[in-house]
Structure 1
Amino acid sequence: MPGEVAQLSNGTAHQAPIDALEVADELSRDLAATAVERDRRGGTPKEERDRLRRSGLLALSVPASQGGLGAPWPVVLEVVRRIARADSAIAHVFGFHHLMLATLRLFGSAGQASRLQAETVEKRWFWGNALNPLDTRARLARRGESLVVRGAKSFCSGAGDSDMLIVSAIDEATSKLVVAAVPTDRPGIRVLGDWDNMGQRQTDSGTVELDDVEVRPDELLTTPGPLGSPFASLRPCLAQLTLANVYLGIAEGALEEAQRYTRTRRRPWGGAKGAPATEDPYILLRYGDMWLDLESARLLTDRAGAAFQAAWDEGDRLSPAQRGACAIAVASAKVATTRTGLAITSGMFEVMGASATSAGAGMDRFWRNLRTHTLHDPVDYKSRELGAFALNGVIPEPSFYS
């Protein structure tokens, strides 16, 4: 069927499943048609999430041995980027779905990852996030022979309409962070529809309440556990790289919208002495600057994707130095896409003109989405890490944000 990837061959390692990119482009075109209206509405994009389930793209990062498409990470991230050009909220939850699948492999045992990834393909599971390590309200306690989690987690992107959740809690016995993979419909889990921010309005990034939620021992991801090895500490690199590709996609989509608007609707300015908007020297100057910044951010992001894939391929052999080199590449992309994206989503109005500020056009969504998302963690800390590396050769210390 059009728009589905059921017929894709798994291919060999690092062979891009080109059909997946075509499906992403088709999905992006469809999402663009309703993006402005859905941004205003907010809430859970149920129809669009089901479209992703049917598309087969939820299996994109799952190894072929578990029935997935076995795509390398640069391809998965390219799909995230292409979707983000039209709808960064859908791209966000799609990218985090694959981040949760990677978490199974990074924090858990090979058996856990294989079993849950295979079930994801078979049952078309959509994974949501309830990990947020900065929110320590959730606690893991022992109730007789059982383990239970009680508390709440904030910024739970994609939790609404998810089938499975990656949940973190503080173990009361050890005071350490523990991570588990649990079904979203398990008794005691309540996903609140309380996300009401100015951007990323359909990411369901609100609160998940946990009321004595049972966690089975085999659902805990403890081998090697959170950041338990250099390989396990690649998770924050993938998280940051996913966000960088969302940011880049937003910037690309914003520039494409600006180009269409300038070519078809921008009126010549009186001071341009009769030149059409497409030949106005100052408009051309701004487009040149935006294109150059975007091209630079794109190249850094692609380089970071290649660096991450190389680190991923090392598996448990990954050294701290190799992990550090990957983290520097990812931080470079994160800083570049943040700065470039904010400049383009604001500067696009200079080349479109005052009429583009019409509420009906919805052009402000690009800036609102990017501004909301780029505050996920302060980009100044990434620049500081880059400075420490540039001046003193110090690689970032692994944490959930570096």
Structure 2
Amino acid sequence: MPTLQRLDPTTILATAAALSQELAANAVERDRTAGIPTYEVSRLRETGLLSLVIPQEYGGAGADLVTVYQVIKALAKADGSIGQLYGNHVGLVTLAHAIGTPAQKERDYRGTAQHQWFWGNAINTRDDRLKLSPDGDGFRLNGEKGFGTGIPAADRWVFSAVQAGVELPLFLAIPSDRPGVTILDDWDNVGQRRTASNSLSFDNVWVEADEIYGPPVDPDGAFATLPGPVAQVAKVYTYLGIAEGALEAARQYTQEKTRPWVASGVSGITTEPYILRHYGELWTELQAASALADKVAEQVQVAWEKGDTLTHEERGEVAVQVSAAKAFSTRVGLDIANRIFEVTGSRATATHYGFDRYWRDLRTFTLHDPADYKLRDVGNWFLNGVYPTPTQYS
């Protein structure tokens, strides 16, 4: 596969589609064994996708977020875990662009472009067990953290931690060979099994002062809070990719293996009226969710390009649309992943097909944050003109 530096979106998406097809070939087996996604990350590195979002002036391909989100969807179509891991990577490698200093932005972009770093994280700000304490010219990390997504396969780690006397959690990035971090082998969930989202423990881990992000150019500006929506849309495209993969797998199975019901009065499954109705409904749902997501992706790209000139009102408008897309893609994705069995039949539940992984992946990942609160935020904006409060999730 070609290097992606300075290639057009068509070539980039062709590369992503080829890798997606490759990953799909053994996705069922990798889901079954779980484990660390070393192979998948190596393929992302070899195809150049890890530097896709990095601006050209720092050595990357300079792709816009609209194209990057389509790559996430293509990967998730084959394997929801890899879609999530790549989406996380994109959000992490761009983090310093919004919340870091110019020197940190330069370091992260150039380092990733040059070394093809893969980024993993444990930045759930609701988990405050990880403590950061001053120590001379630097700091020390002690405590625990959950959901260390991609950490065992990552070259760079991003964490959130709390410091006494500091109101908000701090974000920091350290290399993966930093002593004192123990990765626990405790990720055994029903879905997203190749994300290796293990728990972590920290014993007096050293942190350089410049490894703590910030302050950004405009600490009170709207751009510094934009990583939340950027990451949320990456999740939307992961959901849509999984749903698209499920629907295509079901279609192929139906065409090749599903038999008409005895009372249908038809000889071939592709003319069975209820099968046609279900597929028509599921396809339409997916098109609607994808169209909304694509509209939101364009809005996020415009907001990203504004940088420090982005206003809080503009950021709020984006956040509303992101919340709507997140809630809707959750509903549609789960509906498709569940109902594919209605159009494939009882034999499709055989474990060697692995069709259940689509629902398991979606059900696991869509619990990242409650869709109810996304719809509440949309309703509060629609009725009261109140924008979502900027957080990691909105």
Residue number among 16, 35, 38 corresponding to 1:24 in the alignment: 16
Residue number among 3, 10, 35 corresponding to 2:6 in the alignment: 10
Does 2:381 match 1:385?
A: no
Aligned partner letter, 2:39: E
Equivalent residue runs for 1:128-277 within 5 Å:
128-224=120-216, 228-277=220-269
Aligned partner letter, 2:19: L
Aligned partner letter, 1:247: Y
Mapped partners of 1:226, 1:197: distance in 2: 40
TM-score (norm 2): 0.97
1:284 is displaced (CA, Å) by 0.7
1:336 is displaced (CA, Å) by 1.2
Aligned partner letter, 1:285: R
Q: Give the stretch that moved more between structures: 168-177 or 377-386.
A: 168-177
1:51 is displaced (CA, Å) by 1.0
Aligned partner letter, 2:359: W
Mapped partners of 2:350, 2:181: distance in 1: 41
Does 2:314 match 1:322?
A: yes
Paired residues of 1:237 and 1:330 also in contact (CA < 8 A) = yes
Residue number among 360, 369, 375 corresponding to 2:352 in the alignment: 360
Paired residues of 2:5 and 2:62 also in contact (CA < 8 A) = no
1:373 is displaced (CA, Å) by 0.4
- Work out the number of aligned pairs and report it: 394
TM-score (norm 1): 0.95
1:132 is displaced (CA, Å) by 1.1
1:177 is displaced (CA, Å) by 1.1
Structure 1 unaligned regions, length at least 5: none
Aligned partner letter, 2:185: G
Structure 2 unaligned regions, length at least 5: none
2:283 corresponds to: 291
Aligned partner letter, 1:394: V
Aligned partner letter, 1:187: P
Residues 143, 9 of structure 1: CA spacing in aligned structure 2 closer, same or farther, 3 A cutoff?
A: closer
Does 2:392 match 1:400?
A: yes
1:101 corresponds to: 93
1:380 is displaced (CA, Å) by 0.4
Percent identity reads 42
CA RMSD of aligned residues (A): 1.4
1:56 corresponds to: 48
1:175 is displaced (CA, Å) by 4.3
1:173 is displaced (CA, Å) by 3.5
1:192 is displaced (CA, Å) by 2.1
1:225 is displaced (CA, Å) by 9.1
Residue number among 47, 53, 70 corresponding to 1:78 in the alignment: 70
1:333 is displaced (CA, Å) by 1.0
Paired residues of 2:218 and 2:308 also in contact (CA < 8 A) = no
Aligned partner letter, 1:390: F
1:257 is displaced (CA, Å) by 0.5
1:9 is displaced (CA, Å) by 4.8
1:311 corresponds to: 303
1:227 is displaced (CA, Å) by 7.7
Deviations for 1:80-135, whole angstroms, at most 9, x for unmatched residues? Answer: 00011110101111111110011111110122111221011111110101211011
Runs of 4+ with >4 A deviation: 225-228
